[in-house]
Structure 1
Amino acid sequence: MSESSYTGLGDGITSIDAHYLKPGLVSFYLLEHGGECAVIDTGTVHSVPVLEALLKQRGIASEQIRYIMPTHVHLDHAGGAGAMLQSFPEATLLVHPRGARHLIDPVRLIAGSIAVYGEDLFAQLYGDIVPAPAERVIEVGDGDRFEVGGRSLLCRHTPGHADHHYCVWDEHSRGWFAGDMFGICYHEFRLSGGDFCMLSTTPTQFRPDAMRESLRLLGAANPQRIYLNHFGGIDYFSSQLEGLLAQVDGYVDIAEGCGGDAALMEEAIMDYCSEQVLAMNPELNMREVRESFRFDAQLNAQGLAVWKARQ
């Protein structure tokens, strides 16, 4: 595996490219401290050899992996969890109570994903989803702490993107492992107020009020770093939080204004995010900026359509 798959972020934290769909789309993390390690999010089963190559390179034994911590059970974040338990015999899987049963018995996760992608693409993206042995799973309560080599990791329930989502606060680096709660980062836009983060409202559990509350919880810690799954570690700016909170309101307005029509919402989200970026850097090309949002805008619109239909 190429060195470009791994990015050292300091404080014993390495960002690992999961090579999901394309490089630079999905990352997960290895945290090393005091002779022990935690893996935060997992990518898919195809990510396991990527992690194993890094451990071999660093002389880390499989028995040193103490925890595997998927922030939620969407398959780009937790699809490799069961396979990692097979590879790391001393590891325990830490899962939100609402998600644990789906990793122990992933039949519904698999069926739902096949319905979206079809069997061939599902196999290509996710491979075989390995069930997690129930005896190696701990359900994570809000406020639970776990130690890795004497380093405390605080877990907070953070619904809004998904009801089975939690974030991990690392006091040592003053950073949040934020899963999808801090959105999707567009590093390519050079902005003075920090990297642009686009809200993630993918199906099917977007809840605006919960999203606002969870975002404020992250900001209240006054973090220095945010470790994203889309993609990599970023410096935290309060303007990013303010932007995401504004996006929650903006997305709700879009859903209402478009009557829940996913195609209309996709275009409206692209317009909305493009306007935000161009306001911070007017020298960027409007058409290129707008098109860069299409993939994520499509997924976000689908999630908004589900939310609107439930109103």
Structure 2
Amino acid sequence: MHGIHTIDTGFGRPAFDAAYLVVERGRGAFIDSGTTHSLPRFLDAIHAAGLTPGDVDWVILTHVHLDHAGGAGELMKHLPHARLAVHPRGARHMIDPAVLIAGATGVYGEEAVRRDYGTIAPVPSERVVEAADGFVVDLAGRALLCLDTPGHAKHHIAIHDERANAFFTGDIFGLSYREFDTAQGPFIIPTTSPVQFDPDEAHASIERMLGYGPEAMYLTHYDRVGDVPRLARDLHEQLDAMVAIARRHMDDPDRDVRIATEFTDLYVGRAKRHGVALPADDIARLLKIDIRLNAQGILVWLDRTAKA
């Protein structure tokens, strides 16, 4: 649809982590790069779209978390004419990924980073373009507008595709796994990050995207969703509920466990009301990693705001 090709990057589990190839008049742009392990899937996507690696002009990163950007350095080695567009705060981390690697290692451990993301290669500085708010990538006359959309991370952009009237949202418009689709449509939850989550900024970024009247959102986790106004309301409600839960337990000695437990109850309860037929334990299992990360992210935010 609209020359947009979904790539399952292979990270995590099937239909968990997506990137996209946008094709316009024989030229291509990737949105996000997956991990280094994803490279064969990206090269296959180029050929499946009838292109060659030399036809790809851009790799655009929504942000520099490794499931979105870890494979950028290796991918760029195979795209002789491509430039890489990234938020100004993320550009230096693509040129020298040492801090990124150290941060991920601190959260997940060295063995897990090596297993899940592979070797993180740098991108030559002369190929990196800082996509500040309002930067437009011109893909053979097709405008891809980059908007600064903090909330999940300070180095996050969402890309508005004027031709498709849709956004590539990275993580700022939440997570929607296809296992949870029902007759009522897709189910969605917010996603924080371990260090830079800010609920007020997330609310504002969601509203900013809604101002463009998008017909669809292309999520990293996972794929295209419609019914955008309803999903935005769901995200706003859950962000408020998550903040309330976190504040209720901020002084508890076991606050991380209590918050994660109540987040589980929140998401499972909403999923069941949405008509998800899976048993509650299966819903919780599929969301286990996201629940842990959401609890971590909101705790870091709590502690940061308490010191402000």
| TM tier, smaller | over 0.9
8 Å contact from structure 2 (residues 21, 45) kept in 1: no
Equivalent in the alignment of 1:165: 156
1:278 alignment partner AA = K
8 Å contact from structure 1 (residues 181, 215) kept in 2: yes
- Matched length: 302
Which of residues 222, 227, 243 is equivalent to 1:252?
243
Equivalent in the alignment of 1:138: 129
- 2: CA distance, partners of 1:301 / 1:86: 37
Per-residue CA deviations over 1:144-188 (Å, capped at 9, x if unaligned) read 111111111111000000000000001111110000011110322
Equivalent in the alignment of 1:38: 29
Equivalent in the alignment of 1:6: none
The CA RMSD over aligned residues, in Å, is 1.5
Which of residues 285, 291, 294 is equivalent to 2:288?
294
2:54 is equivalent to residue 54 of structure 1 = no
- 1: CA distance, partners of 2:124 / 2:50: 27
1:185 alignment partner AA = S
Question: Which consecutive residues of structure 2, in runs of 5 or more, have no partner in the other structure?
Answer: none
2:2 is equivalent to residue 11 of structure 1 = yes
Equivalent in the alignment of 1:216: 207
Larger mean Cα displacement after TM superposition, 26-35 or 216-225: 216-225
Larger mean Cα displacement after TM superposition, 194-203 or 274-283: 274-283
Matched residue SS, 1:155? strand
Seen in structure 2, the aligned counterparts of structure 1 residues 102 and 246 have a Cα distance that, compared at 3 Å, is same
State the Cα distance separating 1:284 from its structure 2 match.
Answer: 5.4
2:104 alignment partner AA = S
Larger mean Cα displacement after TM superposition, 165-174 or 235-244: 235-244
Which of residues 135, 139, 155 is equivalent to 2:146?
155
- 1: CA distance, partners of 2:180 / 2:49: 33
8 Å contact from structure 1 (residues 185, 197) kept in 2: yes
Equivalent in the alignment of 1:280: 274
Which of residues 67, 75, 89 is equivalent to 2:80?
89
- 1: CA distance, partners of 2:266 / 2:9: 29
- 2: CA distance, partners of 1:69 / 1:282: 34
Equivalent in the alignment of 2:196: 205
Within a 5 Å distance, the mapping from 1:88-127 to structure 2 comes to: 88-127=79-118
State the Cα distance separating 1:81 from its structure 2 match.
Answer: 1.0
Equivalent in the alignment of 2:171: 180
Question: Which consecutive residues of structure 1, in runs of 5 or more, have no partner in the other structure?
Answer: 1-9
Quote the sequence identity (%): 38
Equivalent in the alignment of 1:5: none
1:70 alignment partner AA = L
State the Cα distance separating 1:30 from its structure 2 match.
Answer: 0.3
2:297 is equivalent to residue 303 of structure 1 = yes
With normalisation by structure 2, the TM-score equals 0.94
Per-residue CA deviations over 1:189-214 (Å, capped at 9, x if unaligned) read 24344211110012110111100000
